[in-house]
Amino acid sequence: GQQVMQIPQYQHVQEGEDFTTYCNSSTTLSNIQWYKQRPGGHPVFLIQLVKSGEVKKQKRLTFQFGEAKKNSSLHITATQTTDVGTYFCADGSGNTGKLIFGQGTTLQVKP
């Protein structure tokens, strides 16, 4: 069934360092969505990728969708303390209607 693996589970960085989280699937994804959950909060949608090889940027965040549509990554350049939280990828395979989340990567940023 649908399953997405996300690594690493935790990442501690010094403020100003870069950060990357990876999402992998054994099956082809119709789309991949990324969410951020602040501590004590609820997930908030960041972006959706649909096309093979797609790259999208939001300020310091860069999202990529693999050529085979089986993996995706989120890269944050020059982290800030406001980037703290858990980042989730989600498999939005339209055929089933399910939205399946990866385990998430929790980012801690030391000022």
Partner 1 sequence: DGGITQSPKYLFRKEGQNVTLSCEQNLNHDAMYWYRQDPGQGLRLIYYSQIVNDFQKGDIAEGYSVSREKKESFPLTVTSAQKNPTAFYLCASSRLAGRTEAFFGQGTRLTVV
Contact residues toward partner 1 (CB under 8 A) are 1, 6, 30-31, 33, 35, 42-45, 48, 88, 90, 92-104, 106
48 or 77: CB nearest partner 1: 48
* Per-residue exposure over 48-87, b if at least 16 CB sit within 10 Å of its own CB, e if not: ebeeeebeeeeeebbbbbbeebbbbbbebeebeeebebbb
Chain centroid to CA 76: 10
The 3-state DSSP class for residue 102 equals coil
Return the number of the residue (40 or 111) whose C-beta is nearest partner 1. Answer: 40
Shortest distance (Å) from residue 78 CB to partner 1? 26
* Beta carbon of residue 99, minimum distance to partner 1 (angstroms, whole number): 5
Q: C-alpha 19: how far from its chain's center?
A: 11
Shortest Å distance, C-beta 87 to partner 1:
11
**Looking at beta carbons only, is 30 or 81 nearer to partner 1?**
30
Q: Residue 91 Cβ, how far from partner 1 at the closest point, in Å?
A: 8
